[in-house]
Chains A and B, each alone.
Chain A
Amino acid sequence: MDENKKLNFNPHDHVLVPKHTKISEEEKQKILQQYNVSLKQLPKILRLDPALQNIEVQKGDLIKIERKSPTTNKAVVYRVVV
């Protein structure tokens, strides 16, 4: 992963990488309540994931991912940082 920092481009710009944004603590609780889930039940993303290299994240943060979907145009999913 360290090697990746040498790359002179941001993985975010790549066609395969959807938009990743960090969710605020307040909104995080709202989302968890809305879907009636705990953090443990959500899909995970590694803290060192290349797509997160420009976002400051900590373990337990919630990442909002806006994918382009062939079935619904835009799909929003969440991943927990581990």
Chain B
Amino acid sequence: MAWQWFHRLGSPRWFYEKTGPWMPWLAVLSAVLLISGAVWGLAFAPADMKQGNSYRIIYIHVPAAFLALAGYYIMAISGAIGLIWKMKLADMVMKSAAPIGAVLTFVALVTGAIWGKPTWGTWWVWDARITSMLILFFLYLGVIALQEAYQHQDTANKASAILALVGTVNIPIIYKSVDWWYTLHQPATIKFTSESTIHPSMLYPLLTMVIGFYCFYALVLLLRTRSEVLEREKKTRWVQDLARQG
């Protein structure tokens, strides 16, 4: 009985019908969190004692980087589920997660470069954190490319799932790179084991943005997966009925 929900997930139709009502709620929630977090962080949070106002790019940079890493696990784990249980929906989630992750990684790299110029004095440096983040971007691009590289969807899923699984080793490397090696990038500010070294007046808007990014990620992932469900199931009766209803 405990596994029933898991097997139900194997049905794209069940997934499509179940997630439909969530979408407006997720959209409203992420809009409220992102707008309030951005206004709070950009307009009301105090300036930093050393960096002044230029630190405010943290409110985009850090949430984007968080989700780029978390999104990779979502992609790799659904790839593994697709490999092991041959679950169609898991393959669709993997395919949908890749472009979102690539965009978030790109945003983290670009905002990092824009932040680096006024603080470090350079746009780019080949330190461990930045280089491993660039590798993450290439891994996402690889999964996207493999999805398009094969005639048969099953072969494409298998190949991209294996690439995604091999790439998971990069995630702990990115996370720990600033502790393992000498880097220009700062070590982590938000710590899970000890007190964060950011003043609460700056931390709360940052956390709002992080939660907002999570909601927005869930929204975009569900949207993409739902349209993938319709695309792949377009020959089935229930999708055609849905299309006829308009």
Is B one of A's binding partners?
Answer: no
